[in-house]
Structure formats: C-alpha cells, structure tokens
C-alpha cells in the first residue's frame, strides 16, 4: 500500500506551528439519513465549542449520490470541510463499502458504474482529500478488505454512533493489526452522528487538528500530514521524544498514561490527577509507538502511531 504520510518523532503535531482546532469528521443530516438539517447540524457543533465539522452524508442512489455543500456556514470563527461517505461495491461480508472522504472538491464524481472500494479510494486520494476506513468493528470490515486499497490516510479508532447503538465503537485492535503488517495509517475518533431519538451519538468522539489557520485548506493539509490526535474526553498538551530513549507526555488530568507498541502489554503510569509522565524507551523494540491517556470519567485520548524506523 502506498502511504500518504508517516508520522515520526520529529513530525509530531505538538511542535508544529499554529493551534489545535476541535472538529467532527463524520456525521449525517436530512440530506441522507440524519435527523438534523444541515443548518441544525452546524448549529449544534458550533454552539458546543467545536471549530469545524465535515458533513459526510451518504452518497447513495436513494439520496441522489449528492455531496452536501456547507460553504455557506463558514466564517472567521467556524468552518467546514466538504465531505461524503461513499458506498461502492462490496466488502468480504457482502456489505457495501463505507469510505469517509473529507476535503473533497464539490464536483467530485461520487458514483461510477462498476466502482469498487479500490477505485473510489484511488480517486479520493488523487483529488487530494483525506480518506478513512470507517467503523471496522461495526460491519466486519477485514484486514483483507483494507489491503485491497492502494492508499488510505486513517481508520476510525472510535465511532460514537456505533458505540451507542451496538457497543461496536472501538477499533484499535484492527488498527494495531494493520500496523503490525506495516500499514502506516492514522486513527480518528468521530461521532457519526445521526441524531436519532433512541441513540446518544453526539459529542462522543472528535479530533484536535494542529493547523496554522482555521481554514479548510489549512485543516486538510494538517489532516493529510497526520498533525492531529483523537479524543473522547482528555486533552494532550505535548508528546515529545527526547532522543531515542525518552518520551515525555503532558495532558489534562488523567488516571493512566500508556505507551503501546508492537509488543504485548504497554508501558504505563497510573495515579490520580496525572498531568504527565516520562517513559524510558531504551528496552522497547518496536517499529512504532502510540500514546493513550485515560481519565477518571472513562474518556481516552490517542496519538497517531509514531514510526521509529
């Protein structure tokens, strides 16, 4: 698989110029199967402290294969990325693909006769958009399915809607299997909000993107570069390598800070009200590492995998 970006110790987002912006990359409106109008979708996120969203309505025949245009909701304090959830062909299980595309041009051709997951993913990447495989744990998406793609930027590590509706929201195990096989992908947490009356699928998972400005082009560049982390609650203030053998983490109050790698288990520091930790990596043999912070309320924050070789 061709990799769009490899995050390394020297390219972590925390040392990049700009600031972190909070956003939701996956959600639906009345333009497909959501309960909120596009205007209400924007209003809900904006009034709850988000800086940007992508409205990723399902591009399916019953919805006209249309991309939702959210440009009218942009201003200096809040912006949007044009997005869509695309459903070409079938995966191993027989389900249609669910591919998340963020930062699409409005004239992107969402449907062609004979489309496959691979052909659509290729066109999304060629268009310069951010491509993610969605909710693997929710619909039995396999490593073999993923490996039919030429390239992808990320996989959803957490999907709030799938968590709320079926207890299938977490997919880190799937991402770890991809990492073990050498696939250098990022990890995003999302809502996948539909605002149904029987599901609490709002403000459950989000990304913090480090960008130089609150503009769609700047946010898209940062996403493509892997300059973001994901959260269901805590904040990461800094993750920094001090040489090869020392890792420093600073965060909002936490009860546990972990460093995972290719090996079983994890390095960890536990306590109450932790604001950070230092880790000795001298005996860690792994091609990659990732950091998890857990807080008292059960929330988590995750870095993208950081490749050491």
CATH of residue 97's domain is 3.20.20.140
Q: What percent of the chain has pLDDT over 70?
A: 99
pLDDT of residue 5: 72
Indicate whether 126 and 263 sit together in one domain: no
Of 231, 264, 282, which marks where a domain is finished?
231
What CATH number is attached to the domain comprising 274?
2.60.40.10
Confidence band (pLDDT; 50, 70, 90) for 1?
A: low
Bridge-partner residues for 119, per DSSP? none
Q: How many domains does the chain have?
A: 2
pLDDT, average across residues 89-112: 97
Residue at 299 is within a domain: yes
* 250-264 pLDDT tens trace: 999 999 999 999 999
Residue at 213 is within a domain: yes
Indicate whether 76 and 210 sit together in one domain: yes
Tell me which residue of 206, 196, 207 sits closest to 165, measured CA to CA.
196
Residue 93 CA to chain centroid, in angstroms? 23
* 263-300 pLDDT tens trace: 999 999 999 999 999 999 999 999 999 999 999 999 99
Q: How far apart are CA 289 and CA 262, in angstroms?
A: 8
pLDDT of residue 199: 79
* 50-66 pLDDT tens trace: 999 999 999 998 888 89
Indicate whether 104 and 200 sit together in one domain: yes
Burial (CB count within 10 angstroms: exposed 0-12, middle 13-18, buried 19+), residue 197: exposed
Whole-number average pLDDT of the chain? 96
Query: Residue 50 belongs to what domain range?
Result: 9-231
Of 197, 231, 265, which marks where a domain is finished?
231
């Amino acid at each position: 698989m061709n990799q769009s970006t490899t995050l390394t110790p020297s390219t972590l987002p925390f040392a990049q110029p700009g600031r972190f912006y909070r956003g939701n990359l996956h959600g639906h409106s009345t333009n497909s199967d959501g309960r909120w109008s596009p205007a209400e979708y924007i209003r809900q996120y904006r009034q709850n402290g988000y800086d940007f969203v992508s409205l990723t309505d399902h591009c399916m025949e019953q919805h006209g294969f249309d991309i939702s245009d959210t440009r009218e909701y942009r201003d200096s304090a809040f912006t949007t990325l044009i997005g869509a959830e695309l459903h070409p062909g079938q995966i191993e299980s027989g389900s249609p693909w669910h591919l998340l595309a963020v930062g699409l041009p409005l004239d992107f051709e969402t449907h062609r006769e004979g489309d496959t997951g691979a052909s659509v993913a290729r066109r999304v990447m060629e268009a310069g958009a951010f491509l993610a495989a969605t909710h693997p744990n929710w619909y039995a998406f396999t490593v073999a399915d993923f490996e039919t793609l030429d390239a992808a930027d990320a996989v959803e590590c957490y999907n709030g809607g799938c968590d709320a509706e079926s207890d299938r929201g977490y997919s880190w195990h799937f991402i770890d299997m991809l990492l073990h096989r050498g696939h250098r992908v990022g990890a995003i947490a999302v809502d996948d909000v539909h605002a149904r009356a029987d599901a609490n699928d709002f403000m459950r998972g989000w990304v913090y993107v480090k960008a130089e400005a609150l503009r769609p082009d700047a946010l898209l560049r940062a996403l493509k570069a892997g300059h973001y982390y994901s959260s269901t609650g805590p904040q990461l203030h800094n993750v920094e390598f001090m040489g090869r053998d020392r890792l420093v983490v600073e965060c909002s109050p936490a009860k546990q800070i972990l460093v995972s790698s290719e090996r079983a288990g994890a390095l960890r520091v536990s306590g109450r009200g932790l604001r950070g930790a230092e880790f000795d990596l001298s005996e860690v043999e792994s091609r990659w590492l990732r950091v998890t912070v857990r807080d008292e309320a059960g929330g988590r924050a995750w870095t993208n995998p950081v490749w050491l070789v």
